[in-house]
Amino acid sequence: MTQPLRFGVNRRVLMLAAGATLAAPAVLRAQGAAEDVVVTTDLGRLRGQRQNGVDVFKGVPYGAPVSGEGRFKPARPAEPWTGVRDALRLGTPAMQDASTVYGLNEPAPGEDCLYLNVWAPAGGGRGKPVMFYCHGGGYTTGSGGSTSQDGANIARQYDVVVVSTNHRLGLLGYIDLSELGGPAYQGNQGLSDIALGLQWVKRNIAAFGGDPNNVLLFGESGGGAKTSCLYAMPTVAPLFHKAAIQSGPTLRVQTRQQAAATTRKLLEVLNIAPADWRRLHEIPAADFLKAQQLLQQRNGPDPAPGWSGITDVRPGVWGPVVDGKLLPRQPFQPDAPATARDKPLMVGFLDEEASFFAWAGKDVAAYSLTEAGLRQRLADLGPDLDEVLRTYRADRPGATPTDLFFAIQTARSFGLGSIRIAELKASQGAAPVFFYNLAYRSNRRLEGAARDVGAMHAIDIPIVFDNVASGDTLAGNRPDVGAVADNMSEMFATFARTGQPSAKGQPAWPAYDLKTRATMVIDAQCQVVPDRFGAERKLWGRVDPLGRRA
């Protein structure tokens, strides 16, 4: 049965996915009585709760305050405390509009946001794989407490320890002031926060039963983009051992020159002379959020979506920068980073990622396009449009104009970047890369639309974390959604454990190479398809996905 979607997402969520749910899901299949549990870390003792076989610690401080003198600077470890500190409530999310975080009983967003959450199997034991998650929401929204990514189910079922962090976002997370203030202000504050969270895991996760020498770094959408960057950071390389990039392929980020231009734009908006840049320390954090939103409005939508992944690198947009130190190179240009050559990688995307943007923008018309409407929406492809449509129709017999629109835009926004990362990693000839497509179609539907949202961006979050039992997530309530979640969650958990993804009753998953291009198509029954949609891949080798012509 189709489930209607009766509201859209705030437009600030476009080109991201913060893991929103339609209602708070019952992430624990059966609620038992909770009991206190205490763990000792290097900063002090923590009191969490044990429930249904999982020890949960929420709002654990891992970094010092990043307001005041800590503003715009790299993260520093939190100060130790005495006694037993309660870790029973989610920590403060990063500065953003309050409508873009999705945790239960989550505090209002604020500047001092360096908190993490841990889900660990109860009952002791050591050496459990660690799954360290980077939340979605691009570089401007989201939190580690979103209900769709609650780690309890996957921790219980697969005997893994799950960690998620809050970290600085937007202007406060990525402004580069090094041109004015020197190397202490070189941007990438949000990435430095995540790196500090990984350092906390290295020092402390054994106390929760985790193995600090077996850490999977992974994330979806903006979390995949952050993972792309962290994968290329030499100082982070010793802190993780494999990675997964879900619907967040990021080949390149801002250059120092682009970041400096962004800083100049901000100073103009705030009416601050460059020589007076230290006044930025005095401005209330809420005013930065207003300035960030104003710059976003002035920039307008990304005129060239897709080829660089979800990252818009124009001046005036907040995101990572090649700073020469923390992130010394582009994540996946011109090649895969050598510092991670020994680390297995998973990368993939959903069949209809682009449906998310129609849903988020309440674009009902996108779900019932005519041929003329399809051509109008793809007019930026110019004279190449006819060839693109011929190729996609040949690959997808019976596809409607809406089907074609979502497929083409998905390739331009997520597919090509994901394929390119897989190609570059495979070309290293070192650790394997495993490539996937999620084919499962959600039966959610935007109110008034003529079609379900299908395999759209972000439905994989509750699927990977196996949080679909309530039927209230974006993944919908089809009878087979549980089987899909069982398959995908087990594949991610076994990848965390062994570096080789697999699931019971499903075909063996071969590594991707440039000859067979093996793709795991994930559904209730999975299948391995060589070079899935190969004709489309070859098409984009001839046709510029951005519609540019020589």
The DSSP-derived string for 230-266 is: HTT-TTTGGG-SEEEEES--BS--B-HHHHHHHHHHH
- Tokens, residue 211: 């193995």
Phi, psi of 193 (to 5 degrees): -65, -50
Residue 154 and residue 209 in one domain: yes
Cα distance from N-terminal residue to C-terminal residue, the chain: 49
Mean pLDDT to the nearest integer, 158-174: 97
- Residue reference for tokens 């770094």: 217
Residue 401 and residue 258 in one domain: no
- Tokens, residue 448: 């008034």
In the listed set 326, 343, 360, which residue is the last one of a domain according to the structure?
343
Whether 312 maps to a domain, the answer reads: yes
Residue 354 and residue 334 in one domain: no
261: Cβ contacts below 8 Å, ≥ 6 apart:
315, 316
Residue 384 and residue 338 in one domain: no
Residue 401 and residue 338 in one domain: no
Q: Residue 246: name the closest of 457, 512, 413 by CA.
A: 457
Query: 194: pLDDT confidence band, cut at 50, 70 and 90?
Result: very high
**Residue 409 to residues 47, 75, 381: CA-CA distances in angstroms?**
47, 37, 11
Q: Give the chain's mean pLDDT.
A: 92
Residue 143 and residue 72 in one domain: yes
pLDDT digits 0-9 by tens, 235-249: 999 999 999 999 999
Bond from prior residue into 301 cis (ω within 30 degrees of 0): no
pLDDT digits 0-9 by tens, 261-286: 999 999 999 999 999 999 999 999 99
Whether 175 maps to a domain, the answer reads: yes
Query: 497: pLDDT confidence band, cut at 50, 70 and 90?
Result: very high
- Asked whether 488 and 475 are in contact (CB, 8 A), the reply is no
Whether 425 maps to a domain, the answer reads: no
- Asked whether 112 and 64 are in contact (CB, 8 A), the reply is no
The CATH number of residue 132's host domain is: 3.40.50.1820
The total domain count for the chain is 2
Whether 131 maps to a domain, the answer reads: yes
Whole-number Å distance between alpha carbons of 229 and 514: 23
> Crossing angle, helix 401-410 and helix 385-395, to 10 degrees?
110
Residue 409 and residue 270 in one domain: no
Helical residues (DSSP H) of 367-450, grouped into ranges: 371-377, 385-395, 401-410, 416-428
Mean pLDDT to the nearest integer, 422-441: 98
Mean pLDDT to the nearest integer, 85-97: 97
In the listed set 294, 317, 343, which residue is the last one of a domain according to the structure?
343
Whole-number Å distance between alpha carbons of 361 and 11: 6
Residue 214's domain comprises 51-343
Whole-number Å distance between alpha carbons of 440 and 525: 10
What's residue 460's pLDDT?
A: 98
- Tokens, residue 363: 């674009």
User: How does strand 527-530 pair with strand 518-522?
Assistant: antiparallel
- Tokens, residue 256: 């120092």
pLDDT at 366 over 60: yes
What's residue 548's pLDDT?
A: 67
Residue 313 and residue 392 in one domain: no
Q: What would you report as the CA-atom Rg of the chain, rounded to the nearest whole angstrom?
A: 22
Phi, psi of 472 (to 5 degrees): -100, 5
Alpha-carbon dihedral of residues 284, 285, 286, 287, nearest 10 degrees? Answer: 60
Mean pLDDT to the nearest integer, 387-412: 97
Whether 39 maps to a domain, the answer reads: no
Residue 244 and residue 260 in one domain: yes
The count of residues in the chain is: 550
- Tokens, residue 416: 């090509």
Whether 452 maps to a domain, the answer reads: yes
**Percentage of the chain surpassing pLDDT 90?**
87
What's residue 315's pLDDT?
A: 78
Residue 411 and residue 332 in one domain: no
In the listed set 343, 360, 383, which residue is the last one of a domain according to the structure?
343
Mean pLDDT to the nearest integer, 33-47: 95
Whether 451 maps to a domain, the answer reads: yes
Residue 153 and residue 210 in one domain: yes
pLDDT digits 0-9 by tens, 130-144: 999 999 999 999 999
DSSP category for residue 281: G
Residue 118 and residue 203 in one domain: yes
Biggest CA-to-CA distance, the chain: 69
